[in-house]
Amino acid sequence: MCVAHKGGIVVCRSCGSENRSTFGAEISLVRTGRNILGSNPVYILEKAMVCLECGFLELTIPKPALEALKGTSSQPSDSA
The string of pLDDT tens digits covering residues 28-46 is 988 777 666 667 889 999 9
Would you state the pLDDT for residue 37? 66
Q: Between the CA of residue 65 and those of 15, 32, 41, what are the distances in Å?
A: 29, 17, 10
Beta strands, E only, the chain? 4-6, 9-11, 20-29, 42-51, 57-58
Backbone angles phi, psi at 67, to 5 degrees: -65, -40
Q: What is the pTM of this model?
A: 0.68
Domain spans of the chain, in order of start: 21-80
In this predicted structure, the answer to whether residue 24 has a pLDDT above a threshold of 90 is: yes
